[in-house]
Homo-oligomer: A and B are copies of this chain.
Amino acid sequence: MPTEKSDAERSLALLWGAQDRPNRGPKPALTVDVIVRAAIKIADTEGMAALSMRRVAETLGVGTMSLYTYVPAKAELFELMVDTVLGETPLPEPGPGGWRAWLERFARNGLDGYRRHPWLLEVSLTRGLMGPNQTAALDALLHAISGIGLSKGEMMAVVQLVVGYVRGVAQSTVESARLEQRTGVTDEQWWTEVAPLHDKYIDAGRFPTLTAVFSAEDWDEWIDAFEFGLQRVLDGIESFVDARATS
């Protein structure tokens, strides 16, 4: 019996594009890349719910089952979609401003990525298996914050902090923008439509602070929550780095 590849091995080979090209048999009509890009396009434009193997095959003019020649299953297709998308935005170059400016640009790029591909939020990125682009991103992140006095454990924690923050806030930031484009209803429109319904249940006596904040007519400034939070996060890291440097 030949050494059959484990799932993990097969996935990694797919992610890193290390297929052994056989020379027998008919020429493949498709490539993994074409399939992945078709899937991404569908997910981008019609949402994750519309992404089915049949649908992908249709847009490629191919029988559904043909896809399984290239991709073992839908889960692996997801992994490929994620890594492909991670590679589409170039990583920030090292530049002026040091680690802080770099992380800032990295975070903004990340948010842009989620904006372009909202379905990323529906897929867990913390699979253990890393494709080339995810690997490159992690390497670049670690490189950006190396040599500023952090231990390895702290470096990993900082990475998780930034990446986690972007994802967490992107969730709400992106979702509203997405719904706006999809349904044509502005966030504000939707709130004004739903607000009276909420008012029926939300008692000013029971939720005093909430009503005070939202009933105010002085909606002076609506802050960009992402940028605000990002600066707080970076401030927090910076003060830690400074404290570490003076000790």
A22 on the interface (CB 8 Å rule)?
A: no
Q: Which segment, of A24-32, A56-64, A228-236, faces chain B?
A: A228-236
CA distance A193 to B190 in the complex (A): 49
A65 on the interface (CB 8 Å rule)?
A: no
- Minimum Cβ distance to chain B for residue A3 (Å): 13
Assembly stoichiometry (copies): 2
Q: Decide yes or no: A160 and B169 within 8 Å by CB, A175-B124, A239-B235 being known contacts.
A: yes
Q: Are B176 and A210 in contact (CB under 8 A)?
A: no
Q: Decide yes or no: A240 and B232 within 8 Å by CB, A194-B129, A197-B9, A202-B135 being known contacts.
A: yes
Can you name the residue of chain B whose Cβ is closest to the Cβ of A140?
Answer: B209
Q: Which segment, of A38-46, A66-74, A85-93, A217-225, faces chain B?
A: A217-225
Q: Are B223 and A128 in contact (CB under 8 A)?
A: no
Q: In the complex, how many residues of chain A place their beta carbon closer than 8 angstroms to a beta carbon of chain B?
A: 78
Q: Are B160 and A225 in contact (CB under 8 A)?
A: yes
Interfacial chain B residues near A101, Cβ < 8 Å? none
Interfacial chain B residues near A191, Cβ < 8 Å? 128
Q: Are A169 and B161 in contact (CB under 8 A)?
A: yes
CA distance A237 to B236 in the complex (A): 8
Can you name the residue of chain B whose Cβ is closest to the Cβ of A130?
Answer: B198
CA distance A124 to B173 in the complex (A): 12
Interface of A is mostly: helix
A139 on the interface (CB 8 Å rule)?
A: yes
Interfacial chain B residues near A232, Cβ < 8 Å? 158, 161, 233, 236-237, 240
Q: Decide yes or no: A225 and B156 within 8 Å by CB, A146-B209, A240-B232 being known contacts.
A: yes
Most B-side CB within 10 Å, residue of A16, A229, A232, A239: A232
- Minimum Cβ distance to chain B for residue A192 (Å): 11
- Minimum Cβ distance to chain B for residue A20 (Å): 14
Q: Are B8 and A197 in contact (CB under 8 A)?
A: yes
Q: Are B128 and A194 in contact (CB under 8 A)?
A: yes
Please pick, from B8, B122, B126, B231, the residue contacting A175 in the complex, using a CB distance under 8 A.
B126
Please pick, from B121, B152, B160, the residue contacting A172 in the complex, using a CB distance under 8 A.
B160
Please pick, from B121, B132, B165, B207, the residue contacting A124 in the complex, using a CB distance under 8 A.
B121
Interfacial chain B residues near A169, Cβ < 8 Å? 160-161, 164-165, 168
Interfacial chain B residues near A129, Cβ < 8 Å? 194
- Minimum Cβ distance to chain B for residue A233 (Å): 6
Please pick, from B126, B136, B154, the residue contacting A207 in the complex, using a CB distance under 8 A.
B136
